Amino acid sequence: MGLRLRVILILLSVLIPVTLTFTFYRFGTELRQITQRRVERFSRRLPPRMIRRCQRHPDRFVAKKKNIQIWAYSPNFTSRNSKAPLFPKELKPVDEEILSKTRWFKGKVIGQSAKKYNEDGDCAIFLFRWKGHQKISGIYPSVIFESLLMMLILTLLGFAISAPLVFRIRRLKRALVDHENDSFDMSVYKKNDELDDLARAFGKVLERLKRRDKDLQDYVANTTHDLATPITVLQHRLRRLEAFELQEDARIIVQKTLEESFYIAALISNMGAAARLDNALVLGEVKLNVLVKRIVGRHMPIAEAKALSLDYALPDDACWVKCDETLIEQAISNVVQNAIQYNFAGGHVAMVLEVQDMRFSLRILDDGPGVNPDLLERLSQRSMRSDSARNRNPGGQGFGLSIASNIAQAHDWILTFQNLEKGFEVRFSGKRGKGRDE
């Protein structure tokens, strides 16, 4: 639920009860005042016959006028009628002016007014009491209009208070999102309030993370560079050693060691690729035909060392794609490396590039063991381990395929895995570009 929707719901949860309370209060106030004014008008022009009736029978006098009861009292606030209520203290002393007092009781208006008509006698003071009020339809439009006007004012006030807050929080969110492009801007926060402090705290944390990430990437880049040279020298010496006539056991050891060196070199390249994935891609127009030939040439010695044939098939037309050449080459190399690594001696590995309209498909096929169908969907997960037939060792992790999958995803390419009738297929597919020669 977004912050704006939360603000609206909070406003409604506050405004609705407040508006209803105000409406009922205004209805009650208006009705009470109207009733009180009617009683006061009635008391100002009390009929003379009612006064005469009181004077004739003060012990029995009580009059009713609609919902109003009228009682008579002497100047000392006593009544000859035993049923008369005690004269209310809040209306003492009383003179010729009308004194009124109203209050709510169990949802009904109870009002009392008193006026002095004579200086002496049992009918000197008259007390007017009423309960409830008459329904006056004329006050409904005005009270409803007042309630709606108050609700509108409170709504506008709530939005006026919350809108700047929501706007600044969204700016902070955009600044944090833009930080992915190294453009976190603190200059938009100059209010010197809690949100400003929060933005500064985010800025400091992000700067620390950026420095740590930069240090880690530099460390990985330097480490992979430093390791690449001795690995290359080791491979060169092992190849020279293969040229000598060796006993069978020694030759096998050299071949296995050379295999391990290729594997370590691939791991080092993947570490560098993983570090680069966190940065912006360096996109350019790349000719896949040339890239495929280069990958085949680089992996040909590895395939020959395992007595495998490594072939490729390319279309007549050039296939250009817009990509980060270094990362794409690493992703495809990982798949080729796997196909060679897990195939049997005397097997075959092939790279087939196909184009159709504005899309391309690059397939890497081998006739080695397949993969358990239940594991196909999870094959590119970082910690995924396949069965022993396609796994380098029981403790190995799917680092190469994970890197390939992340690189393909970063380029909006599709990476799929498929068991063949005999063997395994990995397919890269995506959109073609026009290229420089089209």
For residue 255, tell me if it sits in a domain.
no
CA–CA gap between residue 75 and residue 94 (Å, rounded): 9
pLDDT of residue 385: 47
- Determine the pLDDT at residue 9: 76
Determine the Cα–Cα distance for residues 122 and 276; give it in Å rounded to an integer.
Answer: 106
- 294 lies in which domain range? 280-438
Final residue before a domain boundary, out of 110, 140, 170: 140
| Distance from chain centroid for Cα 39 | 62
Contact at 8 Å (CB) between 200 and 186?
yes
Residue 310 domain-assigned (yes or no):
yes
Task: State whether residue 233 is helix, strand or coil.
Answer: helix
CA 275 – CA 288 distance, rounded (Å):
24
Cα-flanking dihedrals φ and ψ of residue 324, to 5°? -85, 105
Total domains present in the chain: 3
Of 140, 162, 194, the one marking the end of a domain is 140
pLDDT score, position 51: 86
User: What is d(CA 211, CA 163) in angstroms, rounded to the nearest whole number?
Assistant: 35
Quick check: is 48 in a domain?
A: yes
First to last CA, the chain: 49
Q: Give the domain-ending residue among 86, 113, 140.
A: 140
Is 68 found in the same domain as 9?
A: yes
Q: Determine, yes or no, domain membership for 222.
A: no
Phi-psi region of 301 (alpha: psi -120 to 50; beta: other; left: phi over 0): alpha
Q: Does residue 300 form part of some domain?
A: yes
| Residues 136 and 196 grouped into a single domain | no
| pLDDT means over runs of 10, the chain (438 residues) | 67 81 78 72 79 89 84 91 87 69 56 84 88 63 82 80 75 70 55 72 77 71 65 70 74 73 70 66 87 90 86 90 88 89 88 91 90 77 49 47 87 90 91 70
The pLDDT, as a whole number, for residue 182 is: 54
Residue written as token pair 């008509």:
117
Q: What CATH number has the domain bearing residue 399?
A: 3.30.565.10
At residue 363, the pLDDT reads 94
Shared-domain flag, residues 195 and 343: no
pLDDT at site 135: 56
Do 300 and 377 fall into the same domain? Answer: yes
What is the reported pLDDT for 181? 52
Single-letter amino acid code for the residue at 347: G
| Predicted local distance difference test score (pLDDT) of residue 415 | 92
Give the count of beta carbons closer than 10 Å to the beta carbon of residue 123. 22
Same domain, yes or no, for 46 and 130? Answer: yes
User: Torsions phi, psi of 110, nearest 5?
Assistant: -115, 115
